[in-house]
Structure 1
């Protein structure tokens, strides 16, 4: 996720420079010695040591947890944050007595917090990382409510032959909506806008309706 090449008179000094600069802890980095260095003879022909330090996921998990804890303790001093990672995604689970306040209406507060956390984490990394935030099982509960939202939007789009623009959603919510929409004939869905205000549009489509009918006939045969 991040590699740093450092030079110093010795390997130990090169490593120490990186550790101090980034505040690395035990188990948060690995070292590849590129050049061992040479003190030379009476100061002549000396050569610097060169090391490549690879920062591990443990570092990013710790920094993300510290960052979010500092912010959320203002609202709840007893907040508990767990950070796990898989690939380039970091999953954050927040336990708080004030979860409702932290989630906000339609998850807007949580979405803004997730966006800020993602910006923070990516400033530490050389590669793009994702942050997925959850509070009080919000995501699981949200899945159920999205089913009703999609049903109503699809009915309106088809009956009025128009398009329905939904409220801003998280990426995982938009994926659920698109999947649900594909189950219906006569509508298509697409996303518009930029994060964290990106929305899903469910739109009537005569082409989609006809194409789906043909597909259904083919499957039934």
Structure 2
């Protein structure tokens, strides 16, 4: 069984290899879909980041919806894992979808903070991926509040409070 945390100490070279494998997989997908896109690879914070941006005349809107990007990210992670034998934590962005989702999450956190400032003892957010929960935890911390993840599996969500 592959150790899920095995990649926590991955070298930049290993992350770049992961990025190259992922980029090849995404490039094949774009070819199948007859879409054009420029692929950028970056390795930082122990993860490979793959960004697909619109080339001239490209229409990435069909792939840039949050649910679609999440599904493609999981498929890409599986493709990388199949070739490397190591669990992948790569992050896929298509057409700026990750920045758009971060903005949506920031607005969600803002509304939750307003509820807390209005007297609520806690504010629960809907279930989301571990990456999105990490973004939420960072956003909440920036605002001076406390957050924790609760629940299991697909029901795992973030709860925001005034602090411990």
TM-score bracket relative to the smaller structure: 0.5 to 0.7
List 4+ stretches of structure 1 deviating above 6 A: 55-58
- Residues 16 and 41, structure 2, Cα contact 8 Å, conserved in 1: no
Alpha-carbon distance change, 84 to 180 in structure 1, aligned in 2, over 3 angstroms = closer
Measured against aligned partners, the alpha-carbon deviations of 1:108-158 in whole angstroms (never above 9, x if no partner) come to 110111111111111222433321111223333433332221011233356
Q: Is 1:201 the counterpart of 2:146 in the alignment?
A: no
Alpha-carbon distance change, 179 to 84 in structure 1, aligned in 2, over 3 angstroms = closer
Alpha-carbon distance change, 201 to 103 in structure 1, aligned in 2, over 3 angstroms = same
Q: Which runs of 5+ in 1 are unaligned?
A: 1-54, 212-221
RMSD: 3.2
Task: Please state which structure has a larger fraction of its residues in helix.
Answer: 2
Partner residue, 1:70: 28
- Residues 99 and 135, structure 1, Cα contact 8 Å, conserved in 2: yes
Partner residue, 1:168: 128
Residue number among 126, 131, 134 corresponding to 2:90 in the alignment: 131
Partner residue, 1:113: 72
TM-score in terms of structure 2 length: 0.67
| Further displaced range: 90-99 or 116-125 | 90-99
Alpha-carbon distance change, 136 to 170 in structure 1, aligned in 2, over 3 angstroms = farther
* SS of equivalent residue, structure 2 residue 90: strand
Larger relative contact order (C-alpha < 8 A, sep ≥ 6)?
2
Q: Is 1:99 the counterpart of 2:60 in the alignment?
A: yes
Compute the displacement of 1:88 (Å).
Answer: 5.3
Q: In terms of Rg, which structure is larger? A: 1
